[in-house]
Copies of this chain bind each other. A is one copy, B any other.
Amino acid sequence: MLARVKPVSTRQPDDASTNGTPSGLRRRPTINDVARLADVSTATVSRVLSGVAKVSPEKHAQVLRAIEQLDYNPSDLTRAVFNGRSNAVGVLVADMRNPYYVDLVRGVESVITEGGGLVFLANGHRDRERQEAILRAMDAQRLRGLVITANRDIDEGAVRRLADRGAEIVFVTRPAGISHPRIHSVRVDDEAVGALAWQHLRDRGRRNVAVVTQPLDTPTQRARLRGIRDAARLDGVDLADDRVVELQSLDEPALGLEEVLKACGSTKRGAVDAVFAATGIGTLRAYQELMALGVRVPDDVAFVGFDDFLWAPYLASPLTVVTQPTLAMGTQAARLIIDEPGAAVEHVLAPGLTVRAST
C-alpha cells in the first residue's frame, strides 16, 4: 500500500518563519507570543488553557488578558499530534442523497460538536477505491472514531486496521461483522421491520405481497426479507421468490415490478395486492414504477415504504412507512465513540410504523 502523497501546499519560500501565515499578514499568535506578552512561561499558559494545574490569580489574569489581546486560539492540530489522536469523528456514507443519511449525520454531529469535537463527512460513492482513499485520509487525521453506513463493499481489512490503531468504529444499519473490541454496530431490528410491514398489510386485508429489496448479499437486506417471510408464514402465507424484486443498480429506474405484477396477474384473484419496499431507495423506485404503471394506490395495490421523509404525507398517495429512529442511531453511534466502551457493542433498535393513506 503505497503512501501516495500530494504536495497539498508546498510551503512558500517567504513562509519560512511566518508559521504558514499568508504573506502580508501578521503571523498567527502562538503560545509563545502569549507567554511573552503575559510575561510567564509557555507552561503556565498551557496550564491556564487546560485549567488543570493551579495558577496564581495574577498570572492567570495576565495570561487571559494576553490571550484576549492577541485573539489567540490554540491549535487543535498540535494538541492532537501530542495526544496521538484528534477529537474529530468521521462519518462515511455511500450516497448522501438518501435523506436517511441526513438525520444520521445530524445525530452524530449534534453529539460530537456539543462535546467540542468536529465531524468529517465523506461520501464513499459505493466505490471501493474511493473508500480506501477516504479511510486512509481519515486515518491520517488520527481521528477518534468513525461511523460507517451503507458502504456494502467496504474493505474490512482497512476498517480493522483503523480500529487496531485506536479508532472506535461504528457500523450503522449493519451488524459489525468484524470481531474487535472497538468495532460496534447500531441498527434497527431488521426482522421486525419485515414483520411490521406484514402485520400491517395483513390487517389491511392484503396477503399477496411483493417485496422490493436492495441486493440480497447483505445481512441487512436478508434479515428484512426473512422478517416479512417469517411473519407471513405465521399467517399461512408463503412469500415465494417470484414475489421478491431485487433492486440491482441503484441508479437505474427500471425495477421489474411490472413483471412481478403481471406474472402474478395483477387483475385476477390472487394477484399482488400490496408492495413493501424494504429500503429507502427502493421506496422511491417502487413508487415511481407504480405511478408509471398507472396502478391505483391503495385501491389496486397497497404500498408500504421504508424510512419516513418530510414530503411523505403530501404524495399523491401519502405514504405508509416503516421507520427507523435515524437521529437516535446517529446520537448512539456518537456516544459509543465518545464513551469507548472497551468491548464490542451492538445496539439494536425497534422500528416504528407510520400509517398514511397508501395502505
In chain A, positions 101-117 with a C-beta closer than 8 Å to chain B are 102-103, 105-106, 109-110, 113, 115-117
A116 touches B77 (CB 8 A): no
Name the one of B86, B113, B121, B123 contacting A134, with C-beta atoms under 8 angstroms. B113
| Residues in chain B near residue A28, CB distance under 8 A | 84, 165-166
Which of A49, A99, A314 lies at the interface centre, i.e. has the most chain B CB atoms within 10 A of its CB? A314
Q: Given the complex of chains A and B, what is the CA–CA distance between A215 and B216 in angstroms?
A: 48
Distance to closest chain B CB from A193 (angstroms): 21
Copies of this chain held together in the complex: 2
Contact A74 B5, beta carbon cutoff 8 Å: yes
Most central of A5, A28, A72, A312 by chain B CB within 10 Å: A5
How far apart are the CA atoms of A62 and B8 in the complex, in Å? Answer: 25
Contact at B68–A1, with CB atoms within 8 Å? yes
Residue A64, interface by CB 8 Å: yes
User: Is A54 in contact with chain B by the CB < 8 A criterion?
Assistant: no
Which stretch (A136-144, A198-206, A262-270) binds chain B? A136-144
Which of B19, B118, B316 contacts A314, CB < 8 Å?
B316
Contact present for B140 and A75 (CB under 8 Å)? yes
| A287 interface residue per 8 A CB criterion | yes
Say how far A45's CB is from chain B's closest CB, in angstroms: 10
Complex Cα distance, B84 from A75, in Å, reads 9
Verify A123–B106 contact, CB threshold 8 A: yes
* Residues of chain B within 8 A of A164, CB atoms compared: 25
Report chain B residues within 8 Å CB of A82: 11, 20
Residues of B within 8 A of A121 (CB): 105, 109, 119-121
CA distance A210 to B323 in the complex (A): 36
Judging by beta carbons under 8 Å apart, are B118 and A71 in contact?
A: no
Partner of A310, one of B7, B11, B15, B284: B284
A 162-194 binary contact with B (CB < 8 Å = 1; else 0): 001110000000000000000000000000000
A115 to B134, CA, bound (A): 11
Near B by CB (< 8 A), chain A positions 1-51 give 1-3, 5-11, 15, 18-22, 25, 28, 49-51
Cβ contact within 8 Å between B113 and A123: yes
What residues of B have a CB within 8 angstroms of the CB of A118 in the complex? 90, 120, 122, 134, 137-138, 141
Would you call B74 and A3 a contact (CB within 8 A)? yes
- Any B CB within 8 A of the CB of A293: no
On whether the beta carbons of A22 and B166 are closer than 8 Å, the reply is yes
CB of A348, distance to nearest CB on chain B (Å): 26
Closest to A6 in B: B116
Q: Which residues of B contact A287 (CB under 8 A)?
A: 314
Contacts of A110 in B (CB 8 A): 123
Q: Please name 9 pairs of A and B residues whose Cβ atoms are closer than 8 Å in the assembled complex, sorted by A.
A: A1-B71, A3-B74, A10-B52, A20-B83, A25-B166, A77-B140, A102-B102, A118-B138, A120-B121
